[in-house]
């Protein structure tokens, strides 16, 4: 039983909660027969397209014995045609949980405020807690949490949730971001309150020194296409490539939440190398989310 009803960002979970979810995820991944979500339905609201989020949640619910309903922008009246609070209250009468992949984080908060069932943030412009759970599961499998990780690139929603996730489990994290594109100060403050704010490095090379894992994400996120040229110029020198990895051990792994813009934040050579554990991350989206769903929707 978790200490929270909803997951809007990763620090809605306690440290104990994170370990509980990851333990459950690992057991399910190892073959634990768990169909205790039989006859339960997950409503999946999508304002943004996705490969991994939709497939992992929908397949995951099937594996758990339940069902998922896809609700795209043309299928419901979220924010247009009826207030978000009305959509939330109506869905609560039909489904056992709601997963929402939205632009505005405040919309996710409003869904949760008026819902009578758990609401899971499948991504907003501020946070991506489900990705962080998958990332933590992947790191735990590869190294355990007594490890050093470097985040190189944009201080975006994935990075901000990852900062908080690392703080929750005690991972030693170093962050390298260009000036003006760092993690939000409030996120760094929250990480410090959890007991482990990341070290801020002056360069990617400094960040990756002694790292067991180098993690990056796209420089130009969905919805930022009009900033593309400006951002690519600002991120010159932050690409995860063979030159950057010459500063780390041959055992260092590379993570990316996908989709990747090959040739921008990461090279094709690195992404296709044995260093990359990106496909393990992608698979672990389903296992981590299954662990979360079971813990949110059952009492044992």
Determine if residue 50 is labeled as part of a ligand binding site.
yes
Determine if residue 261 is labeled as part of a ligand binding site.
no
Determine if residue 128 is labeled as part of a ligand binding site.
yes
CA-nearest of 206, 215, 212, 79 to 145 is: 212
Token code pair at residue 152: 């190189």
- Catalytic hit among 6, 128, 148, 190: 128
Determine if residue 92 is labeled as part of a ligand binding site.
no
217 is catalytic: yes
Distant-in-sequence, close-in-space partners of 237: CB < 8 Å, separation ≥ 6: 203, 204
**3-class state of residue 274 by DSSP:** coil
Determine if residue 2 is labeled as part of a ligand binding site.
no
Determine if residue 285 is labeled as part of a ligand binding site.
yes
101 is catalytic: yes
- Catalytic hit among 166, 239, 257, 275: 257
- List the strands of the sheet with 41-46, edge to edge: 67-71, 41-46, 97-101, 119-123
256 is catalytic: no
Determine if residue 258 is labeled as part of a ligand binding site.
yes
Q: Are 289 and 295 in contact (CB under 8 A)?
A: no
Determine if residue 51 is labeled as part of a ligand binding site.
yes
210: left (phi over 0), alpha (psi -120 to 50) or beta: left
Determine if residue 249 is labeled as part of a ligand binding site.
no
Determine if residue 52 is labeled as part of a ligand binding site.
yes
> Distance between CA 11 and CA 210 in Å, rounded?
27
- Catalytic hit among 190, 217, 239, 289: 217
Determine if residue 190 is labeled as part of a ligand binding site.
no
- Catalytic hit among 6, 24, 54, 101: 101
30: left (phi over 0), alpha (psi -120 to 50) or beta: alpha
108 is catalytic: no
Neighbours of 185 (CB within 10 A): 8
148 is catalytic: no
- Catalytic hit among 131, 160, 239, 281: 131
Task: List the binding residues.
Answer: 50-53, 101, 128-131, 157, 217, 221-222, 257-258, 285
Task: List the binding residues for L-ornithine.
Answer: 157, 217, 221-222
| Catalytic residue list | 101, 128, 131, 217, 257, 285
Task: List the binding residues for carbamoyl phosphate.
Answer: 50-53, 101, 128-131, 257-258, 285
């Amino acid at each position: 039983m978790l200490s929270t009803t909803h997951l809007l960002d990763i620090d809605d979970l306690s440290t104990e909660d994170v370990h509980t979810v990851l333990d459950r995820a690992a057991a399910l991944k190892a073959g634990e027969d768990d169909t205790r979500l039989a006859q339960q339905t997950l409503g999946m609201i999508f304002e943004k397209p996705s490969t991994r989020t939709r497939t992992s949640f929908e397949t995951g619910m099937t594996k758990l014995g339940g069902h998922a309903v896809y609700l795209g922008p043309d299928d419901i009246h979220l924010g247009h045609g009826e207030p978000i609070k009305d959509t939330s209250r109506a869905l609560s009468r039909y489904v056992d949980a709601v997963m929402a992949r939205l632009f505005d984080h405040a919309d996710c908060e409003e869904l949760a405020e008026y819902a009578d069932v758990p609401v899971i943030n499948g991504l907003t412009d501020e946070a991506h807690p489900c990705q962080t759970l998958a990332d933590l599961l992947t790191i735990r499998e590869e190294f355990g949490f007594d490890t050093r990780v470097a985040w190189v690139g944009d201080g975006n929603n994935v990075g901000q949730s990852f900062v908080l996730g690392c703080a929750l489990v005690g991972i030693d994290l170093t962050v390298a971001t260009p000036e003006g594109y760092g993690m939000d100060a409030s996120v760094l403050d929250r990480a410090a309150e959890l007991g482990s704010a990341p070290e801020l490095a002056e360069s990617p090379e400094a960040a990756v020194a002694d790292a067991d894992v180098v993690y990056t994400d796209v420089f130009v996120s969905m919805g930022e296409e009009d900033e593309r040229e400006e951002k690519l110029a600002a991120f010159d020198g932050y690409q995860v490539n063979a030159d950057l990895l010459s500063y780390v051990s041959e055992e260092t792994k590379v993570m990316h939440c996908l989709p990747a813009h090959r040739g921008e934040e990461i090279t094709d050579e690195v992404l296709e190398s044995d260093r990359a554990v990106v496909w393990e991350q992608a698979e672990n989206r389903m296992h981590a989310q299954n662990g979360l769903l079971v813990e949110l929707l059952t009492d044992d």
